[in-house]
Structure 1
Amino acid sequence: MSAVTTSPSVKVFLLPDLGEGLTEAELVNWLVAEGDTVTVDQPVAEVETAKSMVVVPSPFAGVVTQLHGEAGTTINVGAPLISVTPPGAAAAEPSSPDAAADPEAEAYRDEERAGVTVPTDEQLAAAPAAGEPEAESGTGSGNVLIGYGTPGTGTGGRTRQRRGGAATAAGTPDQPKPDDGRRAVFCISPLVRKLARDAGLDLHSLEGSGADGMILRRDVERALGTSAEAPAPTDSGETATETRAEADRRSGLQITGRVPVRGVRKAVAEAMTRSRREIPEATVWVDVDATALVELRADLKRRQPDTTPGLLAFVARFALAGLARYPELNTRIVEREDSSQEILTFDGVNLGIAAQTDRGLLVPAVQRADRMSARELDAEIRRLAALAREGKATPADLTSGTFTLNNYGVFGVDGSAAIINHPEAAILGLGRIIDRPWVVNGELAVRKVTELTLTFDHRVCDGGVAGGFLRYVADAVENPGGVLADL
């Protein structure tokens, strides 16, 4: 079960299995705050898995009492995500009198009630609040097992503002007595409190740089004169974590940041590493005169400007025709229980289209592309590319391909020995189309030339099959009219 109950009055929703065997997700954004009233299946958080961005709905209705995580942290499947108090139920009381009387524990509970969680930029594990009961099994809407709610999901908004923690009974440098009229501070973890207390620093004198004025470790270090430089975004969209000024032992240069490998970048790294480790790949390529294809499309564009497919759709159509003749490239090798291997063949082609996005390289797949015309392929390629760029492609969109087409020519390069999209058996690459000198009928001419590159798994076929497929696609590009007439 993905939802459990901590007591008769508080329900804890655990991060569900979002599909495809994923074990963790990065919390991107909370859609609710503590103190909000939520309905069943109302979206409460946006998380990014290794496959896609997913909106997670609540299986419970009631008042949000605790958010178990901060934006940017990684949460394991099965770990607490959000706590909800059902309508009419009282908040859970501490089960231990000693814990209730402990000022440090009480202050920590105040922070938790105010929407603060323990994970820090040093990736410290969260410490449970004193007296917090263990989870027990419960029930929910049942619609969150793959990360999506049911149709007609409510959009209940916030009904009250987030509340700060109550002042504690004991007075410390960072915890005021009740009679001084000050609230308990927003602090990211007890360890940050201890750092300030050991240095004799009053946390009430600090302005937190976190959400809603939350005091982070860097705020304390800055006040103590030991703060590191502020983190900066990287080209990949990740944010470098703080790091004290230190020199790299290998290069001698100062280290300015550390970027965690997670989300899509982590998935890409793992897939590429596994592909190179497991697949004995080989690459063949050929230069192709694409002048006839460019002219054919230009002529169609003049006559049908709104429905003319792009060049990539035509190449995709030729590749699909080639796979019908050389189906060995549209296969997958899998291991059996006895450690032997077998080649899976498929009734159809799901054509993956490599798409560069702000979140990294994604490969959404056109389902049963072998049944589509060039116009249908063009429309579906554009639709899936838009979903990938917006982070809305589903895990099924991103993991169901059987053969991949990669148009790296859009980056201005001629060719590439691409890495196979594991566990597929081949990937076809298309370079940029440029004017080059070319011999036509014994005479030198300027033609539109591109390079086609095929990287294939040498376990599923030999060079003859790979060369035959690549030559078929190249001939189709050079003589598109003849091939399209047969499709």
Structure 2
Amino acid sequence: MSPQVFTLPDLGEGLSEAELVRWLVKVGDTVAIDEVVAEVETAKASVEVPTPFAGVVVELHGTEGSTIDVGAPLISVAADTDTAAATYVEEERAGSGNVLIGYGTSAPPAGRRGRRARRADAPARPAGAERPRVRSPLVRQLARKHGIDLATLPGTGPDGLITRADVERAATPETPPANTSTDARTGLPIKERVAVRGVRKAVTQTLARSRSEIPEATTWVDVDATALLEMRAAMAVGDERPPGMLAILARFVVAGLARFPELNSRVDTEREEIQHLDGVNLGIAAQTDRGLLVPSIRGAHELSIRGLDAEIRRLTAAARDGSATATDLSGGSFTLNNYGVLGVDGSAAIINHPEVAILGIGRIIERPWVVEGTIVPRHITQLSLVFDHRVCDGGTAGGFLRYVADAVEAPVRALADV
């Protein structure tokens, strides 16, 4: 019985390939239907891939770190161990050259070559030499695939048993380190090469497209966030944690987008039109070990401050631990970027294409501030808005930014209207 070949399934969102992050099974393992066999990373998220077949893994198609196209073979599974063994026994009786414990082997018919090729540098086994100690037919299959003569391979298992690891080591000889290359322009040695793939590849493509397509402009304002900090502290009820500052700001952003819908839109270049969106999917930029990810709060305009806070915490945690889904990491209509967590005051961010604007908030720091003619210490932050000049002019962008800034400086009054 031929093994069943499971191909990489359609991962949605129009994705055509994925990077193989790691195998969760190895050749010889028995798997059940829907058991996760591999973890792959797309341009959107890390995905665990379950197998639709049950049986014994006979081949893994691809190495960790390689890129696999959707529809290409991922894993081959034989029906079960007994079936696999029977297949190899049948090959043995047909004179394939395989050896199973307890079975003899016949020579191949004249003029017929065995399916397993001997390595060119492998010595022939002397007549009467001891047969290799191999129990698993899957080890034989792996050796045959790589053209390894088991008679020449020392076993590291009990009593000299040849294991799968022995075959894999023989099939993958150590590669000498490559010569250090030199950068042509500077003449400096290249210390490391980092492949651009997965999330980093997606970020690169998105940001490059944003820079090449969007005529962007930036506007910013310094804001007194003292009252906002005081209001947040008052939101703590008993042992309940108060909502995060970002959640409160998110609520003001959503309210601002309702008043300035131009900044919650899309530019359709083919139709030559600007499409204002009904509702807000609020993207939250999150720095992770895998790069910059932007999970989005779907239906953010329908959530309270506490609801937004719960979603921000859930999505940023999922983005950082790699459990965010492709749906979590797509579909945003406007992005909020808290670069203050990086310890910086301001930034001219790049718009998350195909959105048309991004609002950033810097760190909140105590500074001297003039209040009613007197210099007093206040908690100050900077808000910056980068917008697509095709969808609006500075008056609209400034109006939105001023609305959010006023809400930060007088949050209680702002919440009365939202």
TM-score in terms of structure 2 length: 0.82
Partner of residue 326, structure 1 = 260
Secondary structure at the counterpart of residue 273 of structure 2: strand
Q: CA 1:217–1:341 in 2, change beyond 3 Å: closer, same or farther?
A: farther
Deviation at 1:313, TM superposition (A): 0.8
Identify which of 368, 371, 396 aligns with 2:299: 368
Q: Determine whether 1:36 maps to 2:29.
A: yes
Partner of residue 179, structure 2 = 244
Identify which of 391, 397, 403 aligns with 1:466: 397
| Matching residue's letter, 2:186 | S
Identify which of 276, 293, 316 aligns with 1:385: 316
CA contact (8 A) 1:9 1:91 kept: no
Q: CA 1:483–1:34 in 2, change beyond 3 Å: closer, same or farther?
A: same
Secondary structure at the counterpart of residue 387 of structure 1: helix
Partner of residue 82, structure 1 = 75
| Matching residue's letter, 1:60 | F
CA shift digits 1:338-394 (9 cap, x unpaired): x33222222210100001111111111111111111111111100111111111111
Q: Determine whether 1:310 maps to 2:244.
A: yes
Deviation at 1:73, TM superposition (A): 1.4
Instruction: Map residues 26-425 of structure 1 onto 2, 5 A cutoff.
Output: 26-87=19-80, 89=83, 170=118, 172-174=120-122, 177=125, 179=129, 181=131, 212=165, 214-215=168-169, 219-221=173-175, 227-228=176-177, 243-301=178-236, 303-335=237-269, 339-425=270-356
Q: CA 1:216–1:93 in 2, change beyond 3 Å: closer, same or farther?
A: closer
Report the RMSD for the aligned CA atoms in angstroms.
3.2
The higher radius of gyration belongs to: 2
Secondary structure at the counterpart of residue 398 of structure 1: coil
Counterpart-to-counterpart distance in 2, 1:310 and 1:54: 29
Deviation at 1:314, TM superposition (A): 0.8
CA shift digits 1:244-288 (9 cap, x unpaired): 223222222222221111111111111111111111111110010
CA contact (8 A) 1:9 1:92 kept: no
Q: CA 1:435–1:92 in 2, change beyond 3 Å: closer, same or farther?
A: farther
Counterpart-to-counterpart distance in 1, 2:13 and 2:119: 51
Counterpart-to-counterpart distance in 1, 2:272 and 2:378: 46
Segments of 4+ moved more than 6 angstroms = 91-94, 100-103, 183-187, 202-205
Deviation at 1:92, TM superposition (A): 11
Deviation at 1:10, TM superposition (A): 2.0
Q: CA 1:322–1:167 in 2, change beyond 3 Å: closer, same or farther?
A: same
Q: CA 1:473–1:25 in 2, change beyond 3 Å: closer, same or farther?
A: same
What count of residue pairs does the alignment treat as equivalent? 378
Q: CA 1:477–1:170 in 2, change beyond 3 Å: closer, same or farther?
A: closer
Q: Determine whether 1:432 maps to 2:357.
A: no
Deviation at 1:442, TM superposition (A): 1.0
Q: CA 1:279–1:465 in 2, change beyond 3 Å: closer, same or farther?
A: same
Deviation at 1:36, TM superposition (A): 2.1
Q: CA 1:59–1:86 in 2, change beyond 3 Å: closer, same or farther?
A: same
CA contact (8 A) 1:34 1:64 kept: yes
Q: CA 1:438–1:203 in 2, change beyond 3 Å: closer, same or farther?
A: farther
Secondary structure at the counterpart of residue 482 of structure 1: helix
Unaligned runs of 5+ in 1: 1-7, 107-165, 194-201, 206-210, 222-226, 229-242
Q: Determine whether 1:22 maps to 2:19.
A: no
